[in-house]
Amino acid sequence: MAALICGSLAFDTIMRFEGRFGEHILPDQLHILNVSFLVPALRRDFGGCAGNIAYALKQLGGEPLPLAALGNDGDEYLQRMRDLGIATDHVHARSDTYTAQAMIMTDCDNNQITAFHPGAMMFAHELPVPQREDIRLAIVAPDGREAMIAHAQQLRERGVPFVFDPGQGLPMFDGAELARFIEQATWVTVNDYEGKMLCERTGWTLAEISRRVEALVVTLGAQGCEIWIDGQRSHVDAVVPDAVVDPTGCGDAWRGALLYGLERGWSLEACARLGNRLGAIKIAQRGPQNYQLAAEDLLSLNNG
């Protein structure tokens, strides 16, 4: 069975700043902000939420089915997915724009500043949710605004359970729109910051949101994650990584693990444990799609 992954495909330009952003930004001068950061380390990686989640799910042995748009520079990305065994049936390449581009700068405390050019992602709403019997569940991850709205509605109409993962796309929506997403979704995932923004915009507490879906998960980075079910909170501890190298894509790796577990009927706690462990493996590698799982890793993750 396939997991439909609605979201962006992007090229990530990842830069490493060896200092701390907070030491170079004066809080009382934000109205005239003009800062420059020296980034001696720079790399370009395959990224985007749909690509990262699909990569994680495929690494675990799942069957991701991305629904996403590439631009006229996307041939290399398309070939990479095919080489990885990721289906590209519903990845559309446009000739009139670039693939989405993310410029991500990380400081020594793993804080990040990101600039994002949407490119082909802004046309993703033209790609409908496919009518396929093998789609068991889905995720609506950050994408073009219209695409997220359309895909959530189409999944709801077709009775496909899905995860609503607003991520960095959350600021595009007002409270009423976010409430509509929650009412359509089966599960909701956010990080701590996004969770606070979601509560602020909808006027609902985390407990109230969790009563409107089967479960709400709030990832907390090095503190693990919270699972909210019917207003009740439980905590799943983080896994200590071998090294902290690059947090880019850790949340997407976590969500790939979530889809893997949900498709197999696991409890949310088991899904979260797998997500925390996969995130710890990812953070030890640079880039969102450069970690690999050996056979012993897969055995350990599935038995953990």
Asked if residues 156 and 183 have their Cβ atoms less than 8 Å apart, the reply is no
Token pair recorded at residue 107: 């400081």
For the chain, strand residue ranges (E) read: 2-6, 10-16, 41-47, 64-70, 91-93, 100-106, 112-117, 135-140, 162-164, 187-191, 215-219, 225-229, 232-236
Nearest CA-CA partner of 185 in 144, 139, 221, 222: 139
From the candidates 45, 165, 246, 252, give the one annotated as an active-site residue: 252
| Residue 27 main-chain phi, psi, to 5 deg | -55, -35
C-alpha dihedral, 252 to 255 to 257 to 258, nearest 10°: 180
Nearest CA-CA partner of 267 in 218, 221, 217: 217
Is 45 noted as a catalytic residue in this protein? no
Measured between alpha carbons, how far apart are the two ends of the chain, in Å?
A: 23
Which residues participate in catalysis according to the annotation? 252
